[in-house]
Amino acid sequence: MSIWVRVGDFVATLASSALTSLVEAVRTAFEGDPETRRRVSFSIAMIALSAKMAKADGIVTDHEIRAFQQIFSIPESERTHVARLYNLAKQDIAGYESYAAQMASLCGSGHQNCACLQDILDGLFHIAKADGYVHEKELAFLSSVGEIFGFDEAHFEAIAARHVHLGEADPYTVLGLPRGTSFDEARRRYRQLASENHPDRLVARGVPREFLIIANDRIAAINGAWEKIEKALKAA
């Protein structure tokens, strides 16, 4: 069954209340089905946090809408439910900080740096950069969400570097490596990241197949960073 049918069924049961009770509602609705709970919670986190991020710079551009639609390939029959959830999130008086903290407690194991939370942050970056520029208020929003999710500064910079040019050390930052790393060590790190971020790994931890543009973006950034580092080290 498509994840959108499950999300649509869930949203149809929601009262028109604020999203403060949404996390507990997801936990309760899918208590006996942890795999569906992970997939639904990921989808809802992406929709709701995307809506809250759209307000970060005060403008929702056509590019951001198209990027949202790229990630969310929603069947016509389920678009009303998704739109309702998106609008609820925009109108909710609760701050995104509270909601992100609740999602962190629900997503995956709940441990710091949970891989599923990294997937959510990558999806948010994909939308934020759609107009060719991550606004400083969007970057502040994403940095704050990263802190709430438990990422330290180095981990957040590695994620951001896949989407935003951070200067001369960019390829090394993407792979989480210091300059001066040996060729063999850099290659081992690259192979580790490529294995950890294979699309099948994302599906196994709860990312619905409908969202795998996130995995493709990430692998492309990792491959691109390694190509630059490999070329430079071989030429040295």
Minimal CA–CA distance to 89: which of 23, 6, 156?
23
> Where does the pLDDT of residue 70 fall: very low under 50, low under 70, confident under 90, or very high at 90 and above?
low
Tokens 């994909």 found at = 126
**Contact status, residue 1 vs residue 71, Cβ threshold 8 Å:** no
> Where does the pLDDT of residue 112 fall: very low under 50, low under 70, confident under 90, or very high at 90 and above?
very low
**Contact status, residue 88 vs residue 19, Cβ threshold 8 Å:** yes
**Contact status, residue 233 vs residue 179, Cβ threshold 8 Å:** no
Query: Could you tell me the pTM of the whole model?
Result: 0.75
Amino acid, res. 165? H
Q: What is the pLDDT of residues 6-51, one digit of tens each?
A: 777 777 776 555 555 666 666 676 677 777 777 777 777 778 888 8
Q: What pLDDT score was predicted for residue 66?
A: 67
- Mean pLDDT to the nearest integer, 201-218: 76
pLDDT at position 177 over 60: yes
pLDDT at position 88 over 80: no
